[in-house]
Amino acid sequence: MQKRISFFFLLSTISAIFFTLNSCKQSKHKGFEQTDSGLFIANHRENESGKQPKVKDILYCHMKLFLKAEGDKKDSMLFDSESFPDFPGGVKFIQISEPAFKGDIMEGLKLMHIGDSSSFIVSADSFFLVSNKMKELPPGMKPGSELLFHIGLKDIQTEEETVKRLSELRGKASGEQKAEMNKLEAEEAQAMLSYLERKKIAEKPTPSGLVYVETQKGNGPKPKVGQKVTVHYTGYLTNGKKFDSSFDHDAPFTFTLGKGEVIGGWDEGIGMMNVGTSATFVIPSVLGYGSNGSGDIPPFAPLVFEVQLLKAE
């Protein structure tokens, strides 16, 4: 759980308390108040009637993190929860803990209310070297640098409730994925049949389901299991999209026949050819890449290969 709800690579130990204005003093950062501990705070939206967190609670936040720039230069964004969320809706998890150093952001977060929006400036040295126990600052970050956090607090849940929510989310995702896989599997037979009809291919499939169409007869011998065979090939999906070709690699492809070095449809189809033959294989996914797919080949995809058998030795 501790890993799953970590704030941002090493941001798992941040902590804060929202001090009232009379506990703050003027600061070097315009628009920010500084607490006695050294934390800089700017409140943009306050909802005092909202719920506040306790230690170990999980904050559901929208968060942006910047490296403060010197002078009039632009701050550099280090992290945005919209791009790397822990939960739907661009939410990042922050688990509340006790402050690890004076001026720790946890001071400000600890008394935020649901619906609040605030910014915090903290020491990068303390944050990375003390809170996160790094041996050195991240590459390109100078000692004495400061970090700027923009936090919008959307919800507060206990650790147990968050674990439950994540489990439900994973279960839903697994169910949706399974439904999609079942849909693709059901569509495979129709995709293969439509391709054969469109190309007017009348050859019957072998018992395994391979459709072998000889386009040019060769005069050489048939290869034997265990021989090295060399081929030129181009592979397509049944929608006509090319996904691979030996011609694009400027070299034919060599493998050992019948030893499982290639997909089953190749071992079977090339074993039916004579050296010098050209043929088209229409291969069901069970003889191809199955339910996993590979690269540009989706799950349960029938494949079409145009193959030339150059030699067997």
Domain ranges within the chain, ordered by starting residue: 21-157, 168-312
Q: Which two tokens stand for residue 201?
A: 């291919």
The CATH code for residues 168-312 is 3.10.50.40
Extended strands (E) in 48-127: 58-67, 76-80, 92-95, 117-123
Q: Which two tokens stand for residue 262?
A: 């290639």
> Could you confirm whether 195 is annotated as catalytic?
no
Catalytic residue among 8, 87, 233, 281: 233
- The residues, any chain, with a CB within 8 Å of residue 108's CB and separated by 6 or more, are 16, 17, 18, 19, 39, 41, 118, 120
SS3 107: helix
Provide the pairing of β-strand 40-45 with 58-67: unpaired
Given CA atoms 273, 275, 279, 284 in this order, what sign does their dihedral have? positive
- pLDDT at res. 2: 41
> Could you confirm whether 105 is annotated as catalytic?
no
CA distance to 175, 183, 185, per residue, from 290 (Å): 19, 14, 9
- Report pTM: 0.52
Residue carrying structure tokens 């936040």: 61
- pLDDT at res. 26: 55
Catalytic residue among 17, 96, 156, 263: 263
Residue carrying structure tokens 């690579």: 9
Residue carrying structure tokens 């265990």: 226
Catalytic residue among 244, 267, 270, 300: 244
> Could you confirm whether 263 is annotated as catalytic?
yes
- pLDDT at res. 58: 95
Instruction: Kindly write down the DSSP assignment for every residue of 126-185, as one continuous string.
Output: IIIIIIS--SSPPTTPPTT-EEEEEEEEEEEE-HHHHHHHHHHHHHHHHHHHHHHHHHHH
Catalytic residue among 79, 243, 253, 255: 243
User: CA 169, CA 150: separation in Å to the nearest integer?
Assistant: 27
Rg of the chain over Cα atoms, rounded to whole angstroms, equals 31
> Could you confirm whether 253 is annotated as catalytic?
no
- pLDDT at res. 15: 33
Catalytic residue among 7, 8, 19, 305: 305
Q: Which helix (H) or strand (E) holds 304?
A: strand 303-312
User: CA 58, CA 56: separation in Å to the nearest integer?
Assistant: 6
Q: Which two tokens stand for residue 276?
A: 């010098």
Number of residues assigned to the chain: 313
SS3 192: helix
> Could you confirm whether 233 is annotated as catalytic?
yes
Q: Which two tokens stand for residue 6?
A: 């970590």
Asked if CATH classification 3.10.50.40 holds for the domain at 21-157, the reply, yes or no, is: yes
- pLDDT at res. 230: 96
pLDDT of the chain, 313 residues: tens digit per residue: 344 444 443 443 333 323 333 344 556 898 999 999 999 999 999 998 999 999 999 999 999 999 999 877 899 999 999 999 988 889 999 999 999 999 999 999 998 999 999 999 999 999 999 988 899 999 889 999 999 999 999 999 999 999 988 888 887 777 777 787 778 788 888 999 999 999 999 999 999 999 999 999 999 999 999 999 999 999 999 999 999 999 998 899 999 999 889 999 999 999 999 999 999 999 999 999 988 888 889 888 999 999 999 999 9
Q: Which two tokens stand for residue 221?
A: 């011998």
Residue carrying structure tokens 């291919």: 201
> Could you confirm whether 84 is annotated as catalytic?
no
Contact (CB, 8 A) for 130 and 98: no
